[in-house]
Structure 1
Amino acid sequence: MFSKADSQKIKREFWIEFAEVYPRKWLLYDTKIRDFSFKFYVDNKKAQVTLDIEPKDDEKRKIYFEKIESLKQILHDDFMNDAVFERHFHLETGKIISKIWVEKTEISVFNKNTWPEIFDFFNEKMDTFERFFYEYKDYIEDLEMNT
């Protein structure tokens, strides 16, 4: 078990090393769509690359999610066959968002031996997610276009 300070130090080292191994600018929050962002997540059991759809307006969240969902077969066939879709994902804060993600288990941010595996997973999956997004961005961001 790590102290809170030790845990924070290890996580900081993890992200610094990831940036050194894969020194590129990721899309993340720069989608140009409000409350629509890509994220990296890692803890002591799993790593995830996620697309979080979290507008305060539930109708907008629903529309964005349905747009991505309408592309689900393409995403699975041409980009990421392991993507998971959840329309109503409950955050620990109680907030409900929509989320699409891929996950790698049996790794840990606290086990430096698994870091290369996590880094490769992050790089491959985020790059793939970004290519999918750029391919269908015009459709996704146009709320007037039907799903």
Structure 2
Amino acid sequence: MYTREQATQLRQAFWTAFGQYMAPVPSAEGTKVNWSNYKTGLKHVYFKMEAGNKKASIAIELTHPDPDIQELFFEQFAELKNLLHNHLQEQWVWVLHTRDENDKTISRIFAEITQVSVFNQDDWPQLISFFKPRIIALDEFWSNAKYSFDGLL
């Protein structure tokens, strides 16, 4: 077991390593991007990567506090489902209105892997291999799809 400080240090070390590994990769639009803290440019729409003790996930998270607006955004992503899955080359899980770790209502479109731990450095190559192609594919998808969200707010 790790102390809270050791766990924080290991998580930070992983995300630093991931960021350094991804730094040379430009966005779909050819610009420099912070892959570990990807900015969609749209309030309440996040591309979130998480790595824990037993699993890792990458998700599109919709966090608008109004459930009806959140559902509207979810439906817009559903309209783009084929485009998204074509970029990802796989099907993801779609969940409208679930609860996050802070008990807030969110919606998620995600993929995850199990039996990996950010606290085991031997798993880091597998975690990077999981995150890298998916965050790049999300960026490619978003470079085309973001404009279809302009009129929603």
TM-score with structure 1 length normalisation? Answer: 0.88
Aligned equivalent of 2:29:
none
Q: How many residues align?
A: 144
1:6 matches 2:15: no
1:1-147 mapped onto 2 (5 Å cutoff): 1-23=1-23, 25-26=33-34, 28=37, 30-143=39-152
Offset of residue 77 of structure 1: 3.9
Unpaired stretches in structure 2, ≥5 consecutive residues: 26-32
Given residue 83 of structure 1, which amino acid in structure 2 is its aligned partner? W
* CA–CA distance in structure 1, aligned partners of residues 68 and 4 of structure 2: 39
Offset of residue 119 of structure 1: 1.1
**Greater shift in the superposed pair: 28-37 or 104-113:** 28-37
Secondary structure of 1:82's aligned partner: coil
Offset of residue 117 of structure 1: 1.2
**Identity fraction in percent:** 27
Contact 1:44–1:109 (Cα < 8 Å) also in 2? yes
Give the CA RMSD over aligned residues: 1.8
* CA–CA distance in structure 1, aligned partners of residues 17 and 83 of structure 2: 33
**Greater shift in the superposed pair: 123-132 or 79-88:** 79-88
Offset of residue 32 of structure 1: 2.2
Deviation per CA, 1:107-136: give whole Å up to 9, x if none: 110110110111121111011111112121
Secondary structure of 2:152's aligned partner: coil
* CA–CA distance in structure 2, aligned partners of residues 141 and 91 of structure 1: 26
Secondary structure of 1:37's aligned partner: strand
Secondary structure of 1:99's aligned partner: strand
* CA–CA distance in structure 2, aligned partners of residues 15 and 136 of structure 1: 27
Offset of residue 49 of structure 1: 1.1
Offset of residue 68 of structure 1: 0.3
Contact 1:29–1:36 (Cα < 8 Å) also in 2? no
Contact 2:54–2:116 (Cα < 8 Å) also in 1? yes
* CA–CA distance in structure 2, aligned partners of residues 78 and 11 of structure 1: 28
